[in-house]
Amino acid sequence: MNSLDNFYLLKHVVECSGFSAASRRLGIAKSTLARRIGELEKQLGMQLYHRNVRRFRLTNFGNDCYQHCLIITAEAEQVFALAERVRNQPAGELHVISPPLFSAAIVNTLAIEFATKVPEVRLHLEVTMDEVDPRKTQADLIIFPSFTPLPDSSVIARKLMDIEYTLVANPRLLTAKTIQAPGDLKAVRCVGLGNRSTHWVWRFNKGKTVAEHRFVPVFTTTTPIALLEAAREGLGVASLPSSLCANDIASGQLVRILEPWTPQSSQLFALYSSSSGLTVAARQFLDLLIERLSGDISLSSF
């Protein structure tokens, strides 16, 4: 039976690309993980990963073994999910991942409220701007903003809301410049929200007309608050969630530009793996989130 536990540990070591990150995820000492994987190698009589290399890398046999690990652990998770559904009572752990801006607006308060009402559930709220794959994480529910559709059929994506964006700049940046069409943005600096591998392109709509602006940003960040600060300082034109920059526009610190063109909206999804489905706790949390969003008019153009 210990071998099955070791297969579970191997899965996490591979997904974390090494023992150190897996140790942090699982809360198990790195030395213990290495010993358990070593025991598994002895039981199998085969080496699972290459030694003396700079990055963790599986052997050919190790890679085949990992594919079977995915099947074994997925089946085990479905058994536990089935048991919880039969009980029909929320219990155990609930891991929710949310982006910072949305978390500050609603999820932080909602998570505390849920934890208070359902003390049988140990809720962990993780706030991050990183892109998280629900197939490769232990999170039960991932709140994820996206400008593009999510085509992966192994992931269930439930749309929560649209997020409107506004193109803004510090008035000083626009001195002696006229920005009337997307092509005019070539004359000004731009700052971007995204990771380092982002393809920097803004899409705009004016009625049925669609236009694009491809650019090389002078500053990039994964944090909307940092992008807002960059726009305030006049570092460049920014496309920001409308609710985030509304006060700055009202005060005159930032101005809307390129009207009546409007930046493409993003969509906020709740993601979870289709292989395991939602636990009772996760489903109740999601239902509460949807109920709160539908009843809070101030979040309708978040």
Q: What are the tens digits of pLDDT across the range 8-23?
A: 899 989 989 899 988 8
H/E stretch holding 203 reads: strand 201-206
One domain for residues 282 and 235: no
Tokens of 12: 């996490």
Domains contained in the chain, number: 3
The answer to whether the CB of 267 falls within 8 A of the CB of 72 is no
* Domain finish residue from 29, 55, 85: 85
Q: 200 and 229 in one domain? A: yes
Q: How confident is the model at residue 149 (pLDDT cuts 50, 70, 90)?
A: low
Write out the H or E segment, with its range, that includes residue 247: helix 242-251
Statement: residue 300 has pLDDT above 50: no
Q: Look at residue 301 in the predicted model and tell me its pLDDT.
A: 43
Residues 26 and 64 in one domain: yes
Residues 174 and 232 reside in one and the same domain: yes
Give yes or no for a contact between 75 and 268, defined as CB atoms under 8 angstroms apart: no
pLDDT in tens, 102-120: 888 899 999 999 999 999 8
> For position 285, what pLDDT does the model report?
95
Q: What gap in Å lies between CA 25 and CA 17, rounded to an integer?
A: 12
Task: Say if residue 277 is in the same domain as residue 158.
Answer: yes
Question: For residue 152, what pLDDT is reported?
Answer: 58
Position 1 pLDDT exceeds 50: no
Instruction: Tell me, yes or no, whether 131 and 276 share the same domain.
Output: yes
Do strands 121-127 and 141-146 pair parallel, antiparallel, or not at all (unpaired)? unpaired
103 and 147, same structural domain?
yes
Mean pLDDT of 191-204: 90
Residues 249 and 131 in one domain: no
The CATH number linked to 20 is: 1.10.10.10
- Residue 280, pLDDT > 60, answer yes
Amino acid, single-letter form, for residue 120: E
User: Does the pLDDT at position 259 exceed 50?
Assistant: yes
* Residue 263 CA: distances (Å) to CA of 147, 168, 201, 241: 11, 11, 11, 10
Domain boundary among 85, 112, 140: 85
Cα–Cα distances (Å) from 33 to 10, 30, 103, in that order, read 9, 5, 33
Each residue of 242-257: pLDDT tens digit?
989 999 999 999 999 9
Question: What is the separation of C-alpha 29 from the centre of its chain, rounded to a whole number of angstroms?
Answer: 27
Please give the residue range of the domain that contains residue 154.
89-163+267-299
pTM of the model as a whole: 0.64
Q: Are residues 184 and 254 in the same domain?
A: yes
- Residue tagged 């919880």 (tokens): 84
Instruction: State which H helix or E strand residue 238 sits in.
Output: strand 238-241
